[in-house]
Structure 1
Amino acid sequence: MRLHTLTVRAFGPFAGTETVDFDRLGANGLFLIHGPTGAGKTSVLDAVCFALYGSLPGARGKDDSYKSHHAPLDRRPEVRLECTVRGRRVRVTRFPRWERPKKRGSGTLVENQKVVVEELAGERWEGVTTRPDEAGQFIGDLVGLTLDQFCQIVLLPQGEFSRFLRASAKDRRASLERIFNTGVFRELEDWFAEHATRLRRKVEAADLRVRESAGRIAETGRSTAPEDTEELWAWASELAALTAAVADEVAPVVDSVAGAREEAARALAEAQALDRRRTRLARARAGLDELLEQAEWRARVEAGLAAAERAAAVLPLLGERDARRTALAKAALVRDQARSLLPAAFASAAGAPELRAAERGCRDSLARAERLRADARRLRERREAIARFDRHLARIDETLERARTHLADLPAAIADLRGRLGEAQGRAGRVEAAEAALAAAAQRRDAVAEHGRLSAELDRAEAAHREAVDAAQAAREHVLSLRERRITHMAAELALGLAEGEPCAVCGSAEHPAPALAATGSLVTAGEERAAQAAADEAAQRRSAAQERVAALRERAATALERAEGRDPGTAAAEVAELTRQRDEARAAVDEARRTEEELEGLADRLERTRAHEAEQARQRSETAAHRDGAVEECDRLAAALHEALGGEDVDLDARVQDLHAEAELLAEAAAAVEEHGRAAGELDTAEAALAEALAGAGFADGAAARSAALDERERRELRSQARLHDDALAAVRAALEDPELAAVADLPPPDLSALKAAADEAALAAERAVTLRGLWRQRADRLAALRAELRSRLDDCGPVLRRYRIAEGMRALTAGTAKDNTDGVRLSAYVLAARLEQVVAAANDRLYTMSDGRYELRYTVDKTVSDGRAQKAGGLGIRVVDAWTGAERDPATLSGGETFFSSLALALGLGDVASAEAGGADIDTLFVDEGFGTLDEDTLEEVMDVLDRLRDGGRAVGVVSHVADLRHRITGRLQVVKTAAGSHIRHAG
């Protein structure tokens, strides 16, 4: 994969649009990304990761909002990457999740992440997808690497591989699993463990079921089950056979006892039947005598029912006659009351026709009076309306006068405000220019202050650097002096190790005739030389750190001086103060223009509303005057009509209407009462004639006789029921006495039921006990046979489950490293990772040999380590460092800072090679190495740069991310990240 261009906007520290041309940077194969701390060097690499995978590695990927805090709120963040992967030119554009201002109103809205993937086909870009999930699948399949693998292979994060080099086996295991995606082997271990656990539970459950069946057999057969599972089947078979034999022997005894029980029960049943027939015969004879004594009562009931049937036809006519009499009396009372209320003028009207005629005359007079009263009410309403019209016209005239006064004053005020508005808008137009000038002046003032502060720091850093250089040089000279003295007196040092009779380490002779001697105090030991070398290395590190700090401060001071644009502190402060005053005046003019414009709009609106109000009031005055003239005309007409109808007299029409209405109502009530009285008299005569005819037909002398013979329906129904019960009982008794069965037992003696009952109970109890005993034995035999079959089935089920469990447990122990066959005690996942680590170490040693000048070599180990006082296996994931100068193995934690750096770099490059091959041999044409070069001395830096130069073979581009000043002179292609208060910027150099 080769990167071509990267464009970011409002992303991370970059507020604007910045573009990285990787083709230009990588033209020579090696380029440098440098800049001050916090400028955004790593953010360039983050943008590459985000464009490809939509996320960032590690802790930086937890926050999914990557919008720059320096950018305006409405600027949409964007990252675009153009690259070539496996011969395909691809362009990926991603828009991170961000909160944009609402287009209407206040507040913000969240827009989720979006993506556009395009591929170059010929000379035209064609869309691939715009869905995030499809884009992730497309990039993953094309690149062949996950996000973690990409960060480990392409970005080579130095700090993480330093931790990887010094990490424990457990932590190293987690890193390798993430890079090589070997979690499937850990999942396989877990599956074998879970599978063995499930089968163990099945074995335990099967054994429990067998013990449950044996317990039920023991409980049923009143026996004790053996402890050995192999003996259960024979014990259960013997117990079932013995129980079945006992059940067969009990059956004949039960049959004989059951026959005796049936014979006793039959004798008792015959005696009970004879006793019941004798009792029925005695009850029939007593009932016949009682019913014959009730014959006279039965005849009276029959006669009373016949008389009640005849009276039932007369009673309705009696009630009708009484009701007509009551209605006639009430009608006479109402008639007399109505006549008493009539006025004296109508007292002579005796009949209903005369009263109806008088009522019609009153209602005609009432109608005429009602019409006159409506005209009088209309006349009053018209006069009140004329008064309201006069008041309304007066208010309209007053309002018109005020409106016309305002219309005369408003135009002059509007013209004055327009002049003031033009002046204010002229002054307000300078706000943006004033703010821009003030912002630039403030940046220059801050740059002047920063330059002064950085200059002081630079002086101190240069003094510290000079001291560090002197100290490093003195320490190096001291080491060279000691080394020279040691070499000079090497013969004396070897002579001190000689002993009589032992061979010389140089010539091999056992005789030592003239061993070399050294002056007292001039011999240098190896320990003194190593201590001096360590002190020199530490001094060199301090010198490099001081040199890096001087370079960084010098660059920052130069940048600040460039941004100050030649101002001194006094000039910059005065310039900011003057521009602040001009900006405040412009802002005040803006506020004044806004207020004047609002006031002008208010006056113009008021003028329009006043004109509309004047026109509306004039229209209302015209309409009101027209309505008043109509009301005056109608008022004159109604007054003339009333004067003519009443003859000029002042008459109370309301009282007249009430009197006529009351007289009409009284006449109507009196006429209705007279007519109702006549109808009631005729209906009474009709009812009396019908009653006389019905009494004669029913045979009653008068109405009192009919009422005395009458019975209501409930009484008649009750008498009929009693008569029917008497007749039915008499028929039943006579039928019972005629029954041959009862006649046959009349002369037989009564049976001894007590004795027969006792004999039958004793035989039944004996039979019940025998049957229960036989049932218990038969049930026990059947139950034991069923349990025996269940036991056989469960014993058969145990075997296959136990065999599967033994196999699964063996596989679990083997993959977990606890089986005897696993002699190294290494888990399956650790074994796979150990093979990967062996490849990584072999690839790393190819480069480490060059970087360390042949001194160091990495070696992986499976030796036991001690943790918490207990020996544990490292699982094949241990790393040791072999020092060729001493032949001893060292812990990586004992390496110095520079040694740790190039060892970690070699390990990172080796891991990248192995992981790349694991991913299908993906071509990685662009690599990045992030930080760590400041810990190297000049010689080691040269060797590391040689290794990086060899990475360029085959057209590969390698980017170094560092702020070490020396690298700017060694690497011609550079990308500078400049940090400012308004956000970072990118510059190409070289």
Structure 2
Amino acid sequence: MKPHLLRIEAFGPYAEPVEISFDALSQEGLFLIHGSTGAGKTYLLDALCFALYGEVSGDRSVKALKSDHAEPSAVPRVSLDFSSGGARYRVERSPAHCAPKSRGEGTTEKAPQAVLFRLIGAEWVPIASRTTEVTREVQGLVGLDAAQFRQVILLPQGKFAEVLRARADEREALLKTLFDTVIYERAASWLEERAKVARIHVAEQNRDLEVLRHQAAHEWSPYAPEPMEAPNDQEGLDRLVEQIAAVVAGTQSNLKQAVAALESAQTAKAAVEKLADRWDRRRAALTRLTELEAKQEAVADFRQRLSRAERAEALRPSVDAEQAARAALATLEAGIRAELLSAIRARDAALALPVSLVLLDLLALPSLEDLGRARADLAARRAEVTALASQAVEANQARIRAASAAALARAADVRLSQNSSARESLQQSRQAAIKAFSKACSARDQLDGLQRAAQDSRDRARAVAAVAPALKQEADSTTAKARADGRLKQAQAALHDLRHRQIAGMAARLAGSLEAEVPCPVCGSPHHPAPAQPSHDAVSDEAITAAEGELTAATTAAEQAAVALEKAQGERKAVLEKAGAAARDPMAAETAARQACEALATGQALAETVASLEQEIARHERDLEALQASIQSASTELAMQTRAAADETRRANTLTTAIARELGEGVEPQQALTTFEPLEEALDALADRCQASASAVTRLEQASGRLARDLAGSEFADGQSVMAALKPESVRQHWADRIKAFETEVIELKGLLASADLADLPQERPDTTAALVAVHAADAARTSAVERNSEARGAQVEIVRLTSEHRNGAGNLAALREQAQLFSAVADRCSGKAAPFISLQRWVLSAYLADICRYANQRLELMTSGRYQLRLTDEGGRGGRQAGLGLRVLDAYTGEEREVNSLSGGETFQASLALALGVADTVEAHSGGVHLEALFIDEGFGTLDPDNLQLAMDELDRLRAGGRMVGIISHVGALRERIRYGIEVLSSDQGSRVQVGTNTLA
């Protein structure tokens, strides 16, 4: 973390805004913060710490940070710009304070506020806005919390030695934040977890073995002669295996006996059931035979009905022929009635019939002669109407030709109207093209002026855009010149001061060249009773030469800055002169340039259309000529088609009048012909029916004669009695099958009763229940034996399995115990629970602390002239505390190590400063550490004598040479002489203010 800019307002003793640029201070590397007691020097470090963490560096309360010198309505604020990880951030904070109420009297409590920004491009983007969130983000960016920040970067007044005197656990917490050692902490945690898991596995394996023994005991319990405890070891399980094997052998023998008893009972049951089955079959045959004998009369009736039906079957052809002839005649007569009705409907629907057909009687079937005359009259009428139909077709064709001519006339009229409209539209387009052509020619003539105007507008806009950079360059050059002039004045003052001091010490310088009995070059006396003595700040010629060189360099820099300023001023005047009045409104200049470019683009686009518009005008003129010709052609076509339509209409009307005179109004010849067709078909059908009716009567007379002859020699009186006796073939076959089945079943039953299988049977049916009960009892005994044998064998399999698993598990338990002991020992060692009671992480941190001591001792030996060294100690490990990370000091004068608390005040300051610098060196030397670019020290130098102060300052100078920025708060006057640049805090009754620059006493 590197601070850049600190802003303070209404904070502590600072009522007015204060701004401190650390970038300017870092150029010197080492700067001093000095001022009178109580002026507010420490408040500057408080503001720095408060901006980052919302806490102050000393013992002050964050609730009393608002300046008493500020207005009641003023808001205390602190802002710090800093960089971290290659990015730049700004944190702004306002502490809790009281402010006047917006209404009424009194005050209200304002909560603390905080915002963290990140610079992205040229814009500050907020990334956190809650106080806790801002603090968390800052800790991540800096890599330290507030307490650690005060121990490593900002060393507050009175707490400078906390790093040196911190307890081991406090020092461990600090080192954890400075160095990434979490992997070692995780490794120790992982080992503890693995040890815990290994111990759990051992316990689980013990439990699993115990469960196996209890399960084996449970399986054996149904067969145990008395209750027993579970076996304690593998031998007890092996004895259970032997015992269950004996139980299984006994149940197997019992099962064989039960199976033999069941087989014997089943054999006896089969014999009884076979005898009972023979008895049942004889009983069923006798019962069925009795039933058949009771159906003898019904079977005899079936035989009689079947014989009469077979005799009637011989007369079936004659009866069927007579009925068919009678049915055919009835059907024909029904058809004749239907044909007569159809003929009447067809005659009523027909148009323009001859008189003979109108007078024909169709209520009864006419004779063939009447039907022939009517058919001939209708044919003659058809010929007459057909001739009229031809005339009607000719009239229709005339109407079609008239309609076609009328349609062509209308089309010609529409085309004439469209062409006239098109001509008007084309004339308008031609006029528009002529106007556009004139406008395009005008734009072509103005192109040169538009191009010059656009170029002037663009040049003016570029000049306006260059005004701001030119002004900034002039301001930067002015600032650089002021800085160079300040440096020149400072060099001149320094050279003047050195020369003045050299002149003041000239007597001592001449006294140094005096020799005894040699005349003095000033007074000429050979005696020198009281020669002048050189002062402690005597100025050498080398210092004068160096100051003169600095003055020369400052003069050159001032001249170069003046030239740069003059150049920047000239550039600024040039761009302002070129921009003119537009410099006051850059947006207007940009708009004017854009509009001029758009006008030029529009003019160029219009000028490019001149040729195309000329072609368009010529095309319009050609199209107008073509339209005029089309209009003349349409007018001629309209007149011709109108005349043709009138002629065809007159011819069609003449023919239509002649047809109406012959057929009557509204009757079309083709319509009349269409109505003739149904009547013609009806007359032809009636003629056919007359001939068919005569044939049907003849066939009926012949069939009736044949039937009368067949009935004369039979038992039937007429055809109706024959029909009553006739039965379908399926019925007759059914009767024959039933008669045959009855006779066959009676014969079979009698043969069965006479067989030897049904002879010698007892009167009563044999009892099968007792045999069935005996079989059930034997089967139940056998099932019980099977279950007992199966259960015993299952128990045997389970006990053998459990015994085998127990044997394997007992072997695994030893390996698990060994692994658990190994993991526990390593975990205890890495977590610091076993000798030497240093955790793995603390051991690594000890290595880092050893590096810190090595770097610190390099400085401490210089600052103490080789007397003291810091030593790392591993003492501890008692009372539950871990060893390591202890510090002691080696005194070279005595050769003994002692506690750091035994050092004097000045020695403690030297050791603390060396340790703080060693921390920073070690952090920067190891990758992944926090990059520390600043160090602030509040007091402590007053405890050093001049020689040790000189040694400490020499060390800080070396630190500055390494690129570190070091800020020191001190009242020691020698530091003001040594440190030439810094911050002076000036106090007054209106509050404090700061002045950054060269120290006045330097």
Structure 1 residue aligned with 2:411: 385
Give the share of equivalent positions with the same residue, in percent: 13
Say if 1:417 and 1:633 are closer, same or farther in 2 by CA, change over 3 A: same
Secondary structure, in 3 states, of the residue corresponding to 1:668?
A: helix
Distance 2:85 2:481 in 1: 27
CA contact (8 A) 1:359 1:668 kept: no
Match of 1:350 among 375, 383, 386: 375
Task: Give yes or no for contact 2:88–2:119 (8 Å, CA) kept in 1.
Answer: no
What amino acid sits opposite 1:297 in the alignment? F
Displacement, 1:903? 0.9
Give the Cα–Cα distance (whole angstroms) in 2 for the partners of residues 284 and 668 of structure 1: 78
Structure 1 position 289, deviation (Å): 0.9
Q: Counterparts of 2:177 and 2:732 in 1: how far apart (Å)?
A: 108
C-alpha distance 896-267 of structure 1, shift in aligned 2 (>3 A): same
Amino acid at match of 1:342: A
- C-alpha displacement at 1:568, in angstroms? 15
Matched, 1:372 2:408: no
Matches within 5 A, 1:482-493: none
Quote the residue 1:738 is aligned against.
751
Superposition deviation, residue 240 in structure 1: 1.7
2:399/2:649 contact within 8 Å kept: no
Kept in 2, the 8 Å contact 1:428–1:586? The answer is no
Give the 3 Å change call, closer, same or farther, for CA 826–197 of structure 1 in structure 2. Answer: farther
Cα distance change on mapping 1:405 and 1:45 into 2, 3 Å: closer
Aligned to 1:300: 305
Match for residue 813 of structure 1? Answer: 824
Query: 2:784 & 2:967 partners in 1: Cα distance?
Result: 106
Residue 265 of structure 2 corresponds to 261
Amino acid at match of 2:834: T
Which residue number corresponds to residue 682 of structure 2?
673
Q: Do the aligned partners of residues 779 and 744 (structure 1) sit closer, same or farther apart at CA in structure 2, a change above 3 Å counting? A: closer
Find the counterpart in structure 2 of residue 905 from structure 1: 920
Q: Which has the larger radius of gyration?
A: 2
What CA distance in whole angstroms lies between the structure 1 residues aligned with 2:867 and 2:580? 61
Aligned match for 2:633, one of 615, 618, 626: 626
Cα distance in 1 for residues equivalent to 2:670 and 2:218: 111
In 2, Cα distance between the equivalents of 1:696 and 1:960?
153
**Structure 1 residues 268 and 279: alpha-carbon distance in aligned structure 2, compared to 1, 3 A threshold:** same
- Compute the RMSD of aligned alpha carbons: 6.4
1: CA distance, partners of 2:790 / 2:408: 115
In the TM superposition, residue 265 of structure 1 has moved relative to its aligned partner by 2.3
CA deviations on 1:484-511 (whole Å, 9 max, x unpaired) are: xxxxxxxxxxxxxxxxxxxxxxxxxxxx
Match of 2:218 in 1: 215
Alignment of 1:783-862 (within 5 A): 783-817=794-828, 823-824=834-835, 830=841, 833=844, 837=848, 840=851, 844=855, 847=858, 854=866
Output the amino acid matched with 1:771.
Answer: R
Cα distance, 1:578 vs structure 2: 5.5
Structure 2 residue aligned with 1:591: 595
CA contact (8 A) 1:850 1:947 kept: no
- 8 Å CA contact 1:321–1:687 kept in 2: the answer is yes
Q: Deviations over 1:802-840 (max 9, x none)?
A: 122112212221232179997337698548846864775
- 1:341 and 2:349 matched: yes
Shift of 1:666: 0.8
Q: Deviations over 1:461-488 (max 9, x none)?
A: xxxxxxxxxxxxxxxxxxxxxxxxxxxx
Matches within 5 A, 1:940-951: 942-943=954-955
Q: TM-score if structure 1 supplies the norm length?
A: 0.56
Q: What is residue 367 of structure 2 aligned with on the other side?
A: none
Q: Retained in 1: the 8 A contact 2:936–2:967? A: yes
Would the alpha carbon gap of residues 821 and 234 (structure 1) be closer, same or farther in structure 2, given more than 3 Å must change? farther
1:386 partner letter: A
How many angstroms does 1:721 deviate by? 4.3
- CA deviation after TM superposition for structure 1 residue 672, in Å: 3.2
Q: Is the 8 A contact 2:830 2:840 kept in 1?
A: no
Relative to 1, partners in 2 of residues 1:688 and 1:792: Cα closer, same or farther, differing over 3 Å?
farther
Once residues 682 and 826 of structure 1 are traced to their aligned partners in structure 2, the CA distance between those partners, rounded to angstroms, is 141
Q: TM-score, normalised by structure 2?
A: 0.55
Query: Are 2:284 and 1:280 equivalent residues in the alignment?
Result: yes
Q: CA deviation at 1:746?
A: 7.3
Match of 1:229 among 210, 232, 241: 232
C-alpha spacing 1:813/1:657, structure 2 compared with 1 (3 Å): farther
1:77-156 to 2 correspondences below 5 Å: none
Q: Which letter maps to 2:375?
A: A
Shift in Å at residue 426 of structure 1?
3.8
Q: Provide the C-alpha distance between the structure 2 equivalents of 1:262 and 1:739, rounded to a whole number of angstroms.
A: 29
1:962 to 1:162, Cα distance in 2 relative to 1, 3 A: closer
The residue aligned with 2:792 is: 781
Per mean C-alpha deviation after superposition, the further-off stretch among 240-249 and 367-376 is: 240-249
After TM superposition, list the pairs within 5 Å mapping 1:571-720 onto structure 2: 579-581=583-585, 584-585=588-589, 587-588=591-592, 590-591=594-595, 594=598, 598=602, 608=613, 611=617, 619-640=626-647, 643=650, 659-678=668-687, 717=730, 720=733
Which one-letter code corresponds to 2:918 in the other structure?
Answer: S
- For the Cα contact (< 8 Å) 1:278–1:742, is it kept in 2? no
Change (3 A) 1:579 1:728: same
In structure 2, relative to structure 1, the CA distance for the partners of 1:576 and 1:906 (3 Å cut) is farther
Structure 1 residue corresponding to 2:740, chosen from 701, 704, 727: 727
Q: CA deviation at 1:935?
A: 5.8
Mapped partners of 2:830, 2:123: distance in 1: 61
In the alignment, the residues of structure 2 paired with residue 697 and residue 855 of structure 1 have an alpha-carbon distance, to the nearest angstrom, of: 168
1:458/1:717 CA distance change after superposition, 3 Å = farther
Q: Distance in 2 between matches of 1:603 and 1:324?
A: 103
- CA deviations 1:907-959 (Å, max 9, x no partner) are 136546xx99xxxxxxxxxxx9862267699855754776999xxxxxxxxx8
Amino acid at match of 2:636: D
Shift of 1:738: 0.8
Aligned residues: 707
How far apart, in 1, do the equivalents of 2:869 and 2:667 lie? 133
- After superposition, the C-alpha distances for 1:444-476 in whole angstroms (9 at most, x for unaligned) are 6668899999999999xxxxxxxxxxxxxxxxx
Residues 752 and 664 (structure 1), Cα distance of their counterparts in 2 relative to 1, 3 Å cut: closer
What per-residue deviation string (whole Å, max 9, x for no partner) do you get for residues 40-66 of structure 1? 8964999xxxxxxxxxxxxxxxx9x99
Corresponding residue for 2:934?
932
- Does structure 2 retain, via aligned residues, the 8 Å contact 1:858–1:880? yes
Q: Which amino acid aligns with 2:455?
A: G
SS at match of 2:414: helix
Q: Distance in 1 between matches of 2:659 and 2:916?
A: 126
- 2:703 and 2:180 mapped to 1: Cα distance? 122
The answer as to whether partners of 1:448 and 1:569 remain within 8 angstroms in 2 is yes
Moved more, 267-276 or 255-264: 255-264
Secondary structure in structure 1 of the residue aligned to 2:834: coil
Task: Note if contact 2:279-2:765 (Cα within 8 Å) is conserved in structure 1.
Answer: no
**Contact 2:152/2:919, CA 8 A, preserved across alignment:** yes
What letter matches 2:276 in structure 1? Q
Post-superposition CA distance 1:599-627 (Å, at most 9, x none)? 98589879949846676565455445434
Q: 1:260 to 1:371 in 2, by over 3 A?
A: same
* 2:294 aligned counterpart, secondary structure: helix
| Alignment gaps of 5+ in structure 2 | 1-26, 31-79, 90-116, 125-141, 144-148, 155-162, 357-373, 486-556, 712-717, 939-948, 969-974, 980-1002
Alpha-carbon contact 2:399-2:648 (below 8 Å) kept: no
Query: How far apart are the structure 1 equivalents of 2:858 and 2:696?
Result: 142
Check whether the contact 2:481–2:565 (CA below 8 A) recurs between aligned residues: no
Q: Distance in 1 between matches of 2:775 and 2:269?
A: 8
* Distance of aligned partners of 1:257 and 1:217 in 2 relative to their CA distance in 1, 3 Å threshold: same
